[in-house]
């Protein structure tokens, strides 16, 4: 009987902690399971509760991927970084909002970020500044061709968007 009470208590704790975490923001299943395991909760109960939450629609990896990707894109991150971060969180597919963006859209986002962060001055033969900006955009997850195109623009009229 004591084992049953302990199991019920564990399940209640898993449900309440998971719901509290989901109330703050979307989580992937992998993220949520990791946070619950870090609290030393039983893995079998975690799995059972997360299955219930998925069937209720409270936990949805596709919704998480979409929301997370949009937030990261709005913060100025490129496709490589967004997809890598999703993989770290257990999402193995690109959400529609990432797939829908063409290369020109990513370049436009990077250009707006460059204009805000560095200005659109002509880099010409200033190889040190060109390299500094290229490293910045590479760390942000833009592809080499996108970075190259962004660094070629030297005037707001060249934006063409």
Reported as a single tens digit per residue, the pLDDT across 105-132 is 999 999 999 999 998 888 888 899 999 9
The phi, psi pair for 140, rounded to 5°, reads -75, -10
Q: Give the contacts of 60 (CB within 8 A, at least 6 positions apart).
A: 26, 54
Q: Give the contacts of 79 (CB within 8 A, at least 6 positions apart).
A: 98, 101, 106, 141, 142, 143
Q: Tell me which residue of 76, 133, 84, 72 sits closest to 107, measured CA to CA.
A: 76
Q: Residue 150 has what pLDDT?
A: 95
Q: Give the contacts of 39 (CB within 8 A, at least 6 positions apart).
A: 17
- Give me the residue spans of the domains in the chain: 2-59, 61-97, 102-161
Q: Is the pLDDT of residue 153 over 90?
A: no
- Top CATH class of 2-59 equals mainly alpha
Tell me how many degrees the CA angle 12-43-10 measures, rounded to the nearest 5: 20
- pLDDT digit string, tens, across residues 20-47: 999 999 999 999 999 999 999 999 999 9
Confidence of residue 148 (pLDDT cuts 50, 70, 90): very high
Q: Residue 1 has what pLDDT?
A: 46
């Amino acid at each position: 009987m004591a084992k049953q009470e302990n199991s019920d208590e564990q399940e209640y704790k898993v449900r309440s902690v998971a719901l509290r975490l989901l109330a703050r923001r979307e989580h992937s299943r992998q993220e949520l399971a990791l946070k619950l395991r870090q609290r030393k909760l039983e893995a079998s109960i975690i799995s059972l509760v997360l299955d219930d939450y998925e069937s209720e629609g409270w936990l949805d990896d596709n919704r998480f991927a979409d929301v997370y990707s949009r937030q990261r894109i709005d913060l100025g991150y490129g496709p490589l970084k967004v997809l890598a971060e999703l993989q770290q969180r257990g999402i193995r597919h690109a959400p529609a909002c990432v797939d829908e963006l063409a290369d020109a859209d990513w370049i436009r986002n990077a250009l707006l970020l460059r204009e805000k962060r560095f200005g659109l001055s002509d880099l010409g033969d200033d190889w040190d500044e060109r390299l500094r900006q290229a490293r910045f955009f590479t760390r942000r997850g833009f592809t080499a061709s996108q970075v190259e195109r962004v660094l070629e623009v030297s005037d707001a009229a060249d934006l063409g968007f």
